[in-house]
Every structure is written in C-alpha cells, then in structure tokens.
Structure 1
C-alpha cells in the first residue's frame, strides 16, 4: 500500500469572485514552489462568478489543488482559519487571490521558518524595501488608520499588522485557534492578539502589486468589521461581535429617533403620539438597513428578501420595545431607581431584538 506524503507547505487562499485570477495564480505557484512538497487550498465563499467550478476543473489536472466551498457564510478571516485547519502541513501560508501578493517571497518565508527560531514570517509593505502600488487617498488613509489601531492592540513592533500575506508554523494556529474571533478581514492581527505568548516574527519586504482582474473588496464595511474585531479583542470573547455591532447601530437609532421626533412634533406641529410613532418607524428602518449593510454583510439581504427582512425586523423590534418598557416599569416599581430600570429595559430589548432578528430576519440559506 502506497503511503501518501504529507505536504511540507499548505498555501491557503480565500476567494470570492476571482475566477479570472485563479488559473494565473496556480501557474505562478507551480513555478515558484517547484521542488517543494506543497498543496494549495482555495476556500471559496460560494462565488456567483463560478470561481469554485473553475477551481474544480483546475484540480482535475493539478492534484495539489484542493477546494473548500462554503455555503451561506462569508468572511476572509474565517475562511483562512478553515483552510488552515484542513491540512496536515507543518507550515501554513496565507495570501490573497487577487495577484497583489508576491508569490516569489514564499520560498524565502519557508526557509526562514525552517532554519530560524521563528513562529511567523510576514510579507510587509512598510519595512525598508517594501512598497504599495498606486492607491487613492481614501484607501491609503483607511490603511494607515487601521495600521495604527492594530499596533496599539497587539503591542508588538509590527510595521504591517494589516498584511494579508504571511507564513506560520501550524502549531501556532493550533495553540490559539479556539480564541480567534474569525471576524473581518485581518487574520494576522487576530493571531497576534490571541496567541498566549509574544510571537517570534520577522517582516520581509515586498511590492504590493496592483489588482489585475476583479474588484477590490476594501470598503467601509471592511473597516467596520476590522473595528469590531478590535473591540472584541479588547472586551473578550464572551460578547459576540455581531451583538456589539447590533448594539452600536441601535445606539445610533436613538439619535435618529430624537431627530425625527423633533422635526415631527416641534417643526411640523403633529401630536406627540404621531411624532413618536413616525420616529420609531424611521429609527427601526435605518437600523435595519445599517445592520443589513454592516452587521450582516456576509448574509446581506437583497431584492424581495429585503422587504421580508424589514417587515420581520420591525415586528421583532416592536415586541422588543414592549419588553423594554415592561421590564423597566416593573423594576422601577420594585426599586424606584429610574436609571437602573431604564438600563435594564434597554438591555432586555437589545438582547431580544438581536436574538429574534438573527433567527428570523437574517436566516442562513439552506445548503442545496
């Protein structure tokens, strides 16, 4: 019986709408990693452009290529975690499918890990010799802000904590995987913040190339998810990141509610009941669309599902409002402490709204 050889290196690449880049990347990696026992694991979040099918076709001719296709969920960090856990290789590399990372750096990364007492080798744009392609002002400012925030969190002298291009020993992942948040797009920062001891690392310079095909996925939603991951690391894993996002957006709804109430009740001279009703509906509507855009960006509702989702969201929040008032009134009658009563009512309403809308508004699609 022939014994299968365990690959030395697994390259994990999350994909979403990268059908044009996949064959080019496979070809480049074959040339770069010649002479190394390696495998390539694509983790595709059910791309509508048939990226997964293209990977299957390539895998028929290239046995080192593997595919994990995820249905009903999205997220770069969680995709990287699943891909890294799906291999027995002792060394794990993570890179993007958009051809912006320099695959020629991979052999040197592997050699440094094999020969030196390092846990991690990072491809860096911000050490001497590294550089980025032409970025517009918005992307450059977003990257700089995220880098500064990340450096404060991990308390390590990492010049490029936002890098999505790195290689690590598999044991590093296995020691901290249960503490990883899996939120957002920056798994490297999550690893630094979660690992129980300071990581031994080195940063190698490379040029961050311009994207050749497809569209960049860096937008406001990505920065929002990054901030959520930072908040969760600061407060601990007991509170889900989605609940943090849901609560923050709910807090913004208070401002919207008061503004609409003022316009209706004071400026338009309606009755307080009418103004309060309109304000509540507008606030719930803005909260729904913001949650759909940011909190549940990986399960975003579209088309007719958007209308169904809005109706279920308003219904759930209406019941949550009644629970808020009921609990607050009961505690006030017992203890006569209005601040505590109000906060308790708000907490009960928030938990109700989050739990019910997570089940009925943003339902995960069933796998076919």
Structure 2
C-alpha cells in the first residue's frame, strides 16, 4: 500500500501505531491481528516499518493488509535501527496520537489499549508501558533485568521526565509532543523513548501502565553490545545538549580502539625497522624507518576504524558487498588529509619538540580524528536524501 504524508482531516484515525520489524515473519501476522482486535472501537491504523527483512515478514504483513485496510507496510532499504524506523513511521502516520510497539509479541495489547484510553482523555502528552511499577515480574531474565535497571538509573540523570521505565519500547504520545521533539531526535539505536523524552523542549504530562513483557512469539532479541554502545552515546549527546552528537561519540569510541591498533603497529615497526636507514633531508633528520612506521600505522588503523565504524557507528547505514570497498576508498580519501596531518604532526613533535615517538604519534592521531569524522560522513556513509 502506498504511503502518503500526514493529512489532518476528518478521515484521519485517532491512533497510529508503528510496529518496527526485522525478520519477524513468524510472529508478525499474529501480532497485528491481536492488537487490531484489542483496539476494536478505537479509530486506528497500524504501520509496519520493515528494514528489508530477509524472511517472509513483508509477505505476512501484506497478507494481513489485504483483509484489514487500516494496515500499511513501509519497507526501508539500506537503513537499519528501531529508532529511525519508528521516526519514519511517525513521519508518514495520519493519527492524532502516535505510538510504537515491538513486532515479536512481547508487548501486551491490553496494556496498549489502556494507554490509548488514557491519552485520549486529553490530559496527557506521553503514556508508557512500564515494567517497574509495583513489585511484579518484569518478564526479563536476571542479567537483562539487572542491565535494564542500571540503564534506567543512568538515564534518570539526563531525562526531563521521571519515567520509571525509560527503556520501555511501548508508548503513545500526542502528535504535538512528537513534533516538539522531532528536530533534536538522533534516530540512533533502539531506545526511542529515551530519545523522545530527552529531546522534547519541556516536561510532558505523562502516565504509565504496568505490564510485564510476554514470551517472544518469534524472532530473536536485538540486544547486544552495540545497543549498549548506542545507549551510552545517546546519553552523552543529551547530557551535553547536543555538543557531542551520539554518532560522533561512537566514532570517537571506535577511534580510541584505532589508537590502540595504531600504537601496536607503531611499536612493532619501531623495533622491527629500527636502523639507521635514510639520509637527512636538508637539516631535518627524518629517517626512512620513521616514515614507514608512521605511515603503516596510519593505514592499518584507518582500515580498522572503517570496518568497525561500518559495524557500529553507521550500522543503520551499514554497507555490504562491493559498496564496502567503494566506501573504503572514499574513507581513505576522506581521511587522507587527516593522515597527512597526523604524519606531519608526528614527525614535527618527535624531531622538533623532542616528544617521545609514541606520544607524538598518538597525539597526532587524536587531533586528526575530528576531520576524519566529517569526511567519513561525507564520502563513505552519506545521509539518504
């Protein structure tokens, strides 16, 4: 079904519920039918935003849509991530109230109906499902529950609203509240509620409904170390009021690992190539083994950073196949100025400022990282138009 832009007319549904999917073919049909039946009597539409699943997710959604005209499918190609998928869904939604839920069946439809009835009373801007109201079970395993509680505590330090479960993936909000937060949303990672609540300019009138997670009906958990990294980067962006963008924080984190790779290569080359090769250039004592060491360290660490950034920093735009090598060349070009700057600074600090060779190399690499970030965004992982 074709997507259209938002229209504020009499035919628009009250509620637009976004379901973000990636390989949820086993569960998605049952999830849509259950939530549709539970919301009977409430004017609503369901928009499934699918990240080009490799299974039969899209076919299952279209089969349901053939029987339920309030169901729409939007497939994204070359983009990944729950937060950005939810934002896309809300941008094309028609409803006065906007919500999101998972496509694996873990969110209780009855809790979502309770949220809908609560927000439609008109005195709330944001209503959420919470696993931490009261003392009943959360539905999470021990380790995941502990991690979620730790993340909840950390987010409490930067949020404008005291939500009991800012990690919740199921909530509803008014369109006005969404639009107020939209300009500052990062769209990175999976914790979209945190992104919304920390991006809105004012504290919302909010409410919560207690509900534990149900057994997953299909698919696999998307929680991994990359999700944790995304959360940490998002918290830093919001805590610094956008001075340090989340994606730059991730890029810088990758850069730190690249510094260790750089240092390791530099140390290895220093001892393997230690010699008196090379003649003085004018009055400077730049030796050939120094040039080889620094250049090799720059190239290897640059390559390391590219592949790790493709997996972590830009995973929502992750490149595959031949595009990886095309982008790698673009990354080399983008970082070439930074590499030359790093090389020149390394040699200058070592030979003229008499700074230790390792300190000189690492310091120069850090200085050049800012250019590398913006160059990489421009030539390797461009934003889609």
TM value normalised by structure 2: 0.81
Q: Who is 1:90 aligned against?
A: 96
Alpha carbons of structure 1 residues 202 and 363: separation in structure 2 relative to 1, 3 Å: closer
Q: Who is 2:155 aligned against?
A: 150
Structure 2: distance between partners of 1:35 and 1:78: 30
1:40 to 2:46 alignment: yes
Distance apart, 1:239 and its partner CA: 5.2
Distance apart, 1:342 and its partner CA: 10
Flag the structure with higher helix content.
Answer: 1
Q: Who is 2:372 aligned against?
A: 353
Secondary structure of 1:208's partner? coil
Matches within 5 A, 1:1-368: 5-115=11-121, 117-128=123-134, 130-135=136-141, 137=143, 139-237=144-242, 240-266=245-271, 268=272, 270-271=274-275, 272-273=289-290, 274-324=292-342, 349-362=368-381
Structure 1: distance between partners of 2:223 and 2:265: 33
The alignment's C-alpha RMSD in Å is 3.2
- Is 1:45–1:74's contact at 8 Å kept on the other side of the alignment? yes
Q: Over residues 196-240 of structure 1, what are the superposed CA-to-partner deviations in whole Å (9 max), with x where a residue is unaligned?
A: 222222221112113221111111111111112111112233654
- Is 2:127–2:173's contact at 8 Å kept on the other side of the alignment? yes
Q: Who is 1:333 aligned against?
A: none
Secondary structure of 1:108's partner? helix
Secondary structure of 2:319's partner? coil
Range with bigger deviation, 181-190 or 52-61: 52-61
Structure 1: distance between partners of 2:273 and 2:378: 39
Q: Over residues 240-291 of structure 1, what are the superposed CA-to-partner deviations in whole Å (9 max), with x where a residue is unaligned?
A: 432332223223322322233223424x464543443443333223212221
Ranges in structure 2 where 5+ consecutive residues have no aligned partner: 1-8, 276-288
Ranges in structure 1 where 5+ consecutive residues have no aligned partner: 331-335
Q: Over residues 2-53 of structure 1, what are the superposed CA-to-partner deviations in whole Å (9 max), with x where a residue is unaligned?
A: x963212211111111122221012101221112211111112222224234
- Is 2:259–2:362's contact at 8 Å kept on the other side of the alignment? no
Alpha carbons of structure 1 residues 77 and 314: separation in structure 2 relative to 1, 3 Å: same
Q: Over residues 279-330 of structure 1, what are the superposed CA-to-partner deviations in whole Å (9 max), with x where a residue is unaligned?
A: 3333223212221111111222344544444454345434321144568999
Structure 2: distance between partners of 1:97 and 1:81: 16
Secondary structure of 1:207's partner? coil
Alpha carbons of structure 1 residues 298 and 13: separation in structure 2 relative to 1, 3 Å: same
Distance apart, 1:87 and its partner CA: 2.5
Q: Over residues 62-113 of structure 1, what are the superposed CA-to-partner deviations in whole Å (9 max), with x where a residue is unaligned?
A: 1010122222222211221221232332222211111111111122112222
Secondary structure of 1:204's partner? strand
**Number of residue pairs matched by the alignment:** 355
Distance apart, 1:179 and its partner CA: 2.1
Structure 2: distance between partners of 1:153 and 1:42: 31
- Is 2:328–2:380's contact at 8 Å kept on the other side of the alignment? yes
Q: Over residues 326-368 of structure 1, what are the superposed CA-to-partner deviations in whole Å (9 max), with x where a residue is unaligned?
A: 68999xxxxx9x9xx99997687334322333344335789xx
Alpha carbons of structure 1 residues 64 and 179: separation in structure 2 relative to 1, 3 Å: same
Alpha carbons of structure 1 residues 182 and 301: separation in structure 2 relative to 1, 3 Å: closer
Q: Over residues 141-180 of structure 1, what are the superposed CA-to-partner deviations in whole Å (9 max), with x where a residue is unaligned?
A: 4323321211111154322110011112222112221122
